[in-house]
Structure 1
Amino acid sequence: MADELTYSEEQNRINTAKLRTLLNDLPKFCSTYFRGIEQNTSARTRIAYAIDLKGFFNYLHDNNPVLKNTDVHDYNISLLDELQATDIEEYIDYLRLYEKDGKSITNYERSIKRKLCSIRSMYKYFHTHQLIDHNPAIQVNIPKIREKAIVRLEVNEVAELLDNVEEGNLATQRQREAAKKLGCRDLALLTLMLGTGIRVSECVGLDINDVDFDNSRIKVVRKGGYEAYVYFGDEVEEQLHNYLEERLHTTALTGHENALFLSSQRKRLCVRSVEKLVKKYANTVTTVKHITPHKLRSTYGTNLYQETKDIYLVADVLGHADVNTTRKHYADLVEENKRSARNAVSLREKRK
C-alpha cells in the first residue's frame, strides 16, 4: 500500500494538475517559462501567473485581427517581439472595465498591478535567456498602490473573541448548537492562529504529529514548500492539549487520519471552512472590520512587534522571505517606534 500523501504533497499534486490544464490554453512556448521559474516559485504562484497570462493572450486573440484566426496555443514566441509597449498599455486600459458573459468586470490598481507583473515576469525570463530581442513590458509603468492601514483586532477584541468561542456566544441558535460540538476545536484553532501568526494554509495542513509539546512548537510547511518550526506559548499549549484529548477519540475518514483539525464530517478542515469560522466568531466582536484569517495573522504580527520592537524577529516568525515585506506591512508601527525613541539619547544632563 502506498504511503499516504501529506497535505502539502496532496496540494502540490492538485496544483500541478491544474497548472498543466492551464498550459493547454496558453501558447506552447509558455511551458518553457513555467519550467524555468519552477524552482523559485510556489505552485500557487505559477497558477496565478498562468491565469493572468491566459487573460492576456485571450485579449490579444479577441482584439487583434492578425491573431484572431490562429489558436492561442499555436502562437509563436516571435509574437512577444512583435508586440509594443502600447499593446500592453491598451490591455491594461481594457482591464479597468470590460464585458464578459453579459457582466461588467472591473479591475482596480492592485489587480492590474498583479496582472502586469505576470506579463513582465514572462517577458523578463525570455529576454534574459535571449529567446526574444525586446522587452516592451518593462516600459509599461506599474500602477501605484495606496497602502491600506493594517486591519487587525485590538487586544480587548481578541480577548472577547476567545471568550465568545469558549462560551458559545453566537448570533443564531443553529450556530450555538454547532459550537457545543465543535467549540473545543474552534478555540484551539483560533488560539493557535492568534498565538503564532501562521497562515491559514499552514494551519489546515497541520498533522497531529506536527505538534511537539516537548519543545512547544509546531512544524509547518511554508510558502515555497520548505518546513519550519513555529513556537507557541502557554495559552496555545493549553488549548491544543484540550483539543487533542478530544481529537484522539475521533475516528477520521480514510485519508484524513493524520489531520489535526477535522470538520464535522471528520475530514481535514479546509481553508474555506476556516474563513467562514473566523468570520462567524469575528462578527461577535466587530461588524465594522472585515476580519479574515490573514487579519488574525496581522493581529499577531502587530502584537509581536509592539512587544519586541524587533522587525527581523517578526519577519522570521511570520515566515517572510524578505524583511522588507514585513517592514512594508508594519511601516506605521516602525515609524511610531522611531518617533517614540527621539528622546532616548540625552546629550547633556538637564539642569535644575
Structure 2
Amino acid sequence: MTRTGDADLPADIAEAIDGFAAHLERERGRSRHTVRAYRSDLTDVLRGPARLSDVDLGHLRTRLADTREAGASRATLARRAAAVRTFTAWAVRTGLLETDPAARLGSPKAGTVLPDVMDAAQAGAVLEAAGSGAAEGEPEALRDLAVLELLYATGVRVAELCGLDVDDVDESRRTLRVLGKGGRERTVVFGVPAAGALRRWLERGRPGLVTAASPPALLLGVRGGRLDPRVARSVVHRAVQAIPGVPDTGPHGLRHAAATHLLEGGADLRYVQELLGHATLSTTQLYTHVTVDRLKVVHDQAHPRA
C-alpha cells in the first residue's frame, strides 16, 4: 500500500487517509487504481485544516467551490464529494471523528457522456473487414476477430471479456458465463457470426499461441498469457479506424453500439439491462437517447392521437 506522503497534510489527516486506503483495499476489495483515485481526491479536499477534527462542512464546500472555479467538470466535483462523504462516514465509524462534517455535503449531478455510436451498417463493415483479415488463419487475426465479434454480440466490458476462461463458454447454447462488477455473475448469449469466429479461434488460433505456462484464459496474447485489456482496446481501435467514416471508438463504443442496436431492434429494456450487467435500470436507460427516432415512428404508428 502506497502511503500518502504529502508534506502539506497534518500527520493525523495523512494517517487517516492511509487507514481509509487500507480499509478500501483489504475490507472492501477496491482496486489499487480506485484507491489511488480516492487518495488524490481526499488529499486535495482535506488540505488546509490543522487537524482532522477541524474539517467542517464550510471547509469542504469551499474546497469544492475552488475546484469548480479552477475549471473542474461536474463529474470531478461529484466524484470528490462522494469520496469525502465515504471517508468521513468511515472516520466516524472508526472513532476518528465524533460527527460527520460531510453528511450534508451536496454535489452536482454528474453528466454522462456516451461515445458516438456507429450504426448497424458501420458495425457490419468493421466486422466484415476483420473477417477478411482473419481469412488466412493467422492466430492473432483469428483472435482479434473473436474479440470484435464477442464484444459487439454480447455488450460485455473489455475486462470481463479478457477475464473469461475456456470453461466459461458453452458453445452448444452459445452463452458466456461472465463475472461482472461487484463479483456479480451473469450469462450472456451470442449469435451465429460470433460463434463461428470463436470456434475458428479455439480450433485454429489459440493452439498457435498457447504455451505450457498459459492460463486457461479464453483469449491469449502473443506470448501465451491472458490477453491484456489494453491490447484488446488497441484491436478495436485499429479495426474501427480501418473503415472510413466510422466514429473512432474502443470496446466501450462496441458495448454502446450493441445496446443501442438491440433497443432499436425492439429488445426489452430489462433484457438489455441483464445483458450489460447493469445493477439498475436507470443506467441502461442512458443508452436509449439515440433511439428517439424509432420511438417517434412507433408512436405515430400505434397511438390513436398521434
Please say whether Structure 1 and Structure 2 have the same fold, judged by a TM-score greater than 0.5: yes
1:239 is displaced (CA, Å) by 1.0
- Alignment equivalent of 2:259, drawn from 301, 311, 323: 301
- Classify the secondary structure of the residue corresponding to 1:137: coil
C-alpha distance in 1 between matches for 2:66 and 2:128: 49
Partner amino acid, structure 1, of 2:36: I
Q: TM-score, normalised by structure 2?
A: 0.81
Question: Hey, which bits of structure 1, 4+ residues long, moved more than 6 A?
Answer: 128-131
C-alpha distance in 1 between matches for 2:244 and 2:85: 40
- Alignment equivalent of 2:151, drawn from 183, 188, 193: 193
Cα pair 1:311 1:326 within 8 Å, conserved: yes
Q: Percent identity?
A: 23
Q: TM-score, normalised by structure 1?
A: 0.71
- Alignment equivalent of 1:204, drawn from 145, 152, 162: 162
Per the alignment, residue 322 of structure 1 pairs with 280
Residues 35/241 of structure 1: CA separation in 2 closer, same or farther (3 Å cut): closer
Is the counterpart of residue 270 in structure 1 residue 228 in structure 2? yes
C-alpha distance in 1 between matches for 2:184 and 2:284: 19
Cα pair 1:33 1:122 within 8 Å, conserved: no
Partner amino acid, structure 2, of 1:64: G
C-alpha distance in 2 between matches for 1:88 and 1:335: 44
1:26 is displaced (CA, Å) by 5.1
Is the counterpart of residue 91 in structure 1 residue 63 in structure 2? yes
- Alignment equivalent of 1:244, drawn from 202, 209, 215: 202
- Alignment equivalent of 2:76, drawn from 93, 101, 111: 111
Is the counterpart of residue 136 in structure 1 residue 109 in structure 2? no
Cα pair 1:26 1:54 within 8 Å, conserved: no
Partner amino acid, structure 1, of 2:62: E
C-alpha distance in 2 between matches for 1:312 and 1:60: 39
Number of aligned residue pairs: 295
Per the alignment, residue 58 of structure 1 pairs with 43
Cα pair 2:233 2:251 within 8 Å, conserved: yes
Cα pair 1:251 1:257 within 8 Å, conserved: no
Deviation string 1:249-307 (CA, Å, 9 cap, x unpaired) is 23524542312211222221101101111111111125673301011000001111112
Cα pair 2:178 2:185 within 8 Å, conserved: yes
RMSD (Å), alpha carbons? 3.4
- Classify the secondary structure of the residue corresponding to 2:218: coil
Per the alignment, residue 216 of structure 1 pairs with 174
Partner amino acid, structure 2, of 1:143: P
C-alpha distance in 2 between matches for 1:168 and 1:26: 55
Cα pair 1:210 1:218 within 8 Å, conserved: yes
- Alignment equivalent of 2:249, drawn from 285, 288, 291: 291
Deviation string 1:186-226 (CA, Å, 9 cap, x unpaired) is 11110111111111001111112221112211111111123
- Alignment equivalent of 2:30, drawn from 17, 31, 43: 43
- Classify the secondary structure of the residue corresponding to 2:265: helix
- Classify the secondary structure of the residue corresponding to 2:50: coil
Gap regions ≥5 residues in structure 2: 6-13
Cα pair 1:85 1:136 within 8 Å, conserved: yes
1:31 is displaced (CA, Å) by 5.8
Deviation string 1:128-153 (CA, Å, 9 cap, x unpaired) is 78874433324433124444355221
1:22 is displaced (CA, Å) by 5.6
Per the alignment, residue 161 of structure 1 pairs with 126
Deviation string 1:90-134 (CA, Å, 9 cap, x unpaired) is 332454587xxxxxxx74222232222111222344557887443
